[in-house]
Amino acid sequence: MKQIFYLCGLPRAGNTLLSSILNQNPNIAVTSKSIVTQICEKIFRLKKEETFLNFPDHTSIDNVIKNVMNNYYQDWKQDIIIDRGGWSAPNNLKFVKKYLNPKPKIILLVRDVLEILASFIDWSDKTHNSFIHKANANSIDDKCNLLMKNDGLIVAGLIEINNMLKNESKEDYLLIEYNNLVKNPKKTIKDIYKFLNIKYFNHTFINLHQFKINGTSYDDSAVGDNLHKIKTKIIKKTKRNINKIISKSIIEKYNNLNVWQK
């Protein structure tokens, strides 16, 4: 039986970097953005179908849901799976506790929201096929508001984090700030091993590899070139002047959303 843990949080907060480092350990597999949450959701929705309601065999369909995670990862050689998805959202977390793991351990990655917006805008300006351009957002303000829409990744991540901080025990999650990850990656990795209570592995923090797991890499042509590309020679934060990238009105609008700092 594989050990299953969870990675959640905000985009542009070091998800790919952290995953690339942890995946140096041959016994750990941190996934890309996982589809397991969607698989579970679609199976669960069958309970609303007429055929099921006509013969409501909850036990049998619950058995399918409970085994989704192990079936999905059964051919992965690693014993420790860290599934990256929106598991800490309120409904998803209730689902996890009921069907998958009554006491899940969740790693939460966070980063200042304005830094996230600046990072996305900077990347989009260099990427003609970015999902931001495809949405026909013209001005910088339009692009930022697009990124901050209620059903977008940033807001979803903030909801997930807020849910954990307000409703869950501190022993059940590990909050990792992006700045701490890039300043002291070794300590961050050690904190993760301690939190998950697994045997430590000596990782390297220079000459990294792009994210790849079980022979599969990201195909960023679907969302925009290099969205998941990391610096490989050295772990270093890109210096950006937020005030020159996004407007004062956007800064004022989204300046107070770092729920983990309140």
Instruction: Sort residue 91 into left (φ over 0), alpha (ψ -120 to 50) or beta.
Output: alpha
Give CA angle at 90 (87, 91), nearest 5°.
Answer: 80
Q: State the Cα–Cα distance between residues 2 and 45, nearest whole angstrom.
A: 26
pLDDT band at 22 (very low <50, low <70, confident <90, very high): very high
Selection from 105, 94, 109, 108 nearest residue 5 by Cα:
105
Q: Are 109 and 176 in contact (CB under 8 A)?
A: yes
224 pLDDT exceeds 80? yes
Model confidence pLDDT, tens digit, residues 138-158: 899 999 999 999 999 999 999
Q: Are 113 and 140 in contact (CB under 8 A)?
A: no
pLDDT band at 223 (very low <50, low <70, confident <90, very high): very high
Question: Three-state DSSP class for 83?
Answer: strand
Task: Compute the mean pLDDT over every residue in the chain, rounded to the nearest whole number.
Answer: 96
The residue-averaged pLDDT of 233-261 equals 96
Q: State the Cα–Cα distance between residues 258 and 262, nearest whole angstrom.
A: 7
The residue-averaged pLDDT of 86-91 equals 95
Model confidence pLDDT, tens digit, residues 168-219: 999 999 999 999 999 999 999 999 999 999 999 999 999 999 999 999 999 9
Question: For the whole model, what pTM was predicted?
Answer: 0.95
Query: pLDDT at position 150, please?
Result: 95
Selection from 65, 35, 138, 7 nearest residue 146 by Cα:
138
- CB under 8 A, 24+ apart: contacts of 150-157: 153/10, 153/11, 154/10, 154/11, 154/113, 154/116, 154/117, 156/86, 156/89, 157/8, 157/9, 157/10, 157/11, 157/13
Query: pLDDT at position 149, please?
Result: 96
| Strand 80-84 relative to strand 212-213, pairing | unpaired
Query: pLDDT at position 193, please?
Result: 98
The structure tokens 């929705």 sit at 45
Selection from 238, 235, 258 nearest residue 118 by Cα:
238
| Strand 173-177 relative to strand 106-110, pairing | parallel
Question: Three-state DSSP class for 246?
Answer: coil
24 pLDDT exceeds 90? yes
Q: Are 173 and 106 in contact (CB under 8 A)?
A: yes
Model confidence pLDDT, tens digit, residues 35-68: 999 999 999 999 999 999 999 999 999 999 999 9
Query: What token pair was written down for 207?
Result: 């000459």
* β partners of residue 206: 234
Query: pLDDT at position 137, please?
Result: 86
262 pLDDT exceeds 80? no
